[in-house]
């Protein structure tokens, strides 16, 4: 990486502070057009971007082309959300002197941009969760300038993406990029930017270690700020005995494919599976047939090997699929029994590692599932006529995860209006928010109520003439 000087970090944040009022006040079509222009600029640089990403991440051009398409689609989706304006949540209460509980004044409430947002780019999605990814796009849509801390895993791609963004013609200060030479997440330039008083909120996708360290800094500032960290999980999945008996082959194939997709380098990787004992060996045979794939870099590969070894050393855990070469990043599968399972083992090991917990009675699962830490996802594989009998397990899973799936695997995270990509701690630091989908905009807004204000001084979403044509809830 090319380290960013502390002076340059200050300049990037100061520029964002200067740009914030104008960007927040920009009409919806101006913001939407900017998002669309960035998408077009990325599309125009596709060949360069994908080639650079492949060189730096080893993810393969097919996967990277798909991810870039996801990224440009995401920008277009947020442009549409800006035009629609529902996220302003404009509420207008007309004066009512005869209200039973006392006179009501003219009161108007909407959500307003918080100000400059610092985005920490992720390693495993060099487009969709990086410089021009969902955090950046949703902050722009909210009306917030963005300063991105580039990830050291793909520095040249980060700079090339920044060039494309700047070519799109955004106003000065609406986008900035800082980078450092550190090996870990959030070192040097990122920490300096996080401590800058001009930063109003920050978003992070990465490890629990990195996320919690940065969240601590955000909380200990003289003026603490929201820190939205998505830190991964083991994404537990449950297979009922009926489902295993009825469509065991389909479940085995689906689990192995989801577990090893992209060398297991997804925060939604199904790393923990509760299954009937008879299914365990079948899963092992299928995982054993999956060829190994390169991981993002040697550091991540070494961390995967160390994490897998640590989990394998836990009492009651046995190795089902394990490479002869101890340094290999080939898929690994471990197994244990429900009686020996320790919820403390439910810690993400970034890569193609699965732990299968064999059980005998479905009635034993709710208590075990309730002891799991917070998760991004949880999945239940069952037969349709079992639904009524699974109410207890379903309720527990919904209480532990941000997204619960029925007869599906969690790896894919659709970019759509209703998506929830978040979950209870320690999956994230902000369980009520999402980093994917149009609701991601809400992270970078705060509600403000205006009581008795003249029309000329109200923000456009609250005016009677509604110049931005946003939905208004008028009472």
Cite the active site residues.
Answer: 230, 267
Q: Residue 423 corresponds to which tokens in the numbers above?
A: 């979950």
User: CA 329 to CA 264: how far, in whole Å?
Assistant: 10
User: CA 42 to CA 132: how far, in whole Å?
Assistant: 9
User: CA 161 to CA 168: how far, in whole Å?
Assistant: 11
User: CA 140 to CA 170: how far, in whole Å?
Assistant: 10
User: CA 230 to CA 378: how far, in whole Å?
Assistant: 16
> By 3-state DSSP, what share of the chain in percent is helix, strand and coil, each rounded to 5?
45, 15, 40
Q: Residue 460 corresponds to which tokens in the numbers above?
A: 């456009």
Q: What angle do CA 300, 306, 310 make, to 5 degrees?
A: 140
User: CA 106 to CA 335: how far, in whole Å?
Assistant: 63
332-337 and 318-321: which strand pairing? antiparallel
Q: Residue 49 corresponds to which tokens in the numbers above?
A: 């971007």
DSSP for 94-146 reads: --BTT-TTS-B--EEEEEEE-S-EEEE--SS-TTTTSTTSHHHHHHHHHT--E
Rama region for 220: left / alpha / beta (φ>0; ψ in -120 to 50; rest): alpha
Q: Do 49 and 42 form a contact (C-beta atoms < 8 A)?
A: yes
């Amino acid at each position: 990486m090319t380290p960013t000087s502390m002076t340059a970090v200050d300049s990037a944040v100061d520029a964002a502070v200067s740009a914030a009022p104008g960007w927040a006040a920009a009409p919806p079509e101006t913001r939407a057009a900017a998002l669309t222009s960035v998408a077009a600029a990325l599309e125009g640089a596709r060949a360069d971007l994908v080639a650079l990403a492949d060189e730096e991440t080893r993810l393969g051009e097919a996967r990277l082309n798909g991810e870039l398409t996801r990224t440009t689609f995401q920008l277009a989706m947020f442009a549409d959300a800006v035009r629609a304006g529902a996220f302003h949540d404009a509420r207008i209460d007309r004066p009512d002197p005869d209200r039973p509980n006392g006179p009501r004044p003219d009161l108007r409430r909407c959500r307003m941009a918080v100000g400059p947002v610092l985005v920490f780019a992720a390693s495993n999605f060099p487009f969709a969760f990086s410089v021009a990814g969902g955090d950046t796009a949703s902050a722009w849509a909210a009306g917030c300038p963005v300063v991105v801390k580039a990830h050291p895993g793909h520095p040249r791609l980060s700079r090339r993406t920044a060039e494309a963004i700047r070519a799109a013609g955004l106003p000065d200060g609406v986008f900035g990029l800082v980078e450092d030479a550190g090996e870990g997440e959030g070192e040097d330039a990122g920490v300096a930017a996080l401590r800058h008083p001009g930063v109003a909120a920050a978003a992070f996708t990465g490890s629990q270690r990195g996320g919690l360290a940065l969240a601590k800094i955000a909380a200990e500032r003289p003026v603490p700020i929201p820190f939205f960290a998505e830190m991964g999980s083991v994404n537990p999945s449950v297979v009922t005995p009926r489902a295993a008996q009825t469509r065991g082959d389909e479940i085995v194939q689906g689990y192995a494919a989801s577990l090893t997709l992209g060398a297991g380098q997804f925060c939604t990787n199904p790393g923990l599976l509760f299954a009937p004992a008879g299914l365990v060996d079948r899963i092992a045979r299928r995982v054993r047939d999956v060829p190994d794939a390169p991981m993002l870099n040697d550091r991540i590969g070494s961390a995967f090997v160390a994490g897998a070894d640590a989990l394998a050393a836990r009492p009651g855990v046995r190795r089902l699929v394990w490479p002869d070469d101890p340094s290999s990043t080939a898929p690994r599968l471990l197994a244990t029994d429900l009686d020996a399972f320790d919820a403390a083992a439910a810690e993400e090991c970034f890569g193609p590692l699965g732990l299968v917990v064999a059980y005998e009675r479905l009635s034993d699962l709710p208590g075990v599932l309730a002891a799991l830490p917070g998760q991004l996802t949880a999945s239940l594989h069952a037969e349709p006529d079992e639904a009524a009998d699974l109410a207890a397990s379903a309720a527990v899973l919904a209480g532990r995860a941000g997204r619960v799936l029925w007869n599906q695997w969690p790896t894919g995270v659709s970019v759509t209006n209703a998506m929830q990509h978040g979950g209870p701690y320690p999956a994230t630091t902000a369980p009520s928010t999402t980093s994917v989908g149009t609701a991601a905009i809400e992270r970078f807004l705060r509600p403000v109520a205006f009581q008795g204000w003249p029309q000329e001084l109200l923000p456009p979403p609250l005016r009677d003439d509604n110049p931005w044509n946003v939905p208004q809830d008028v009472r």
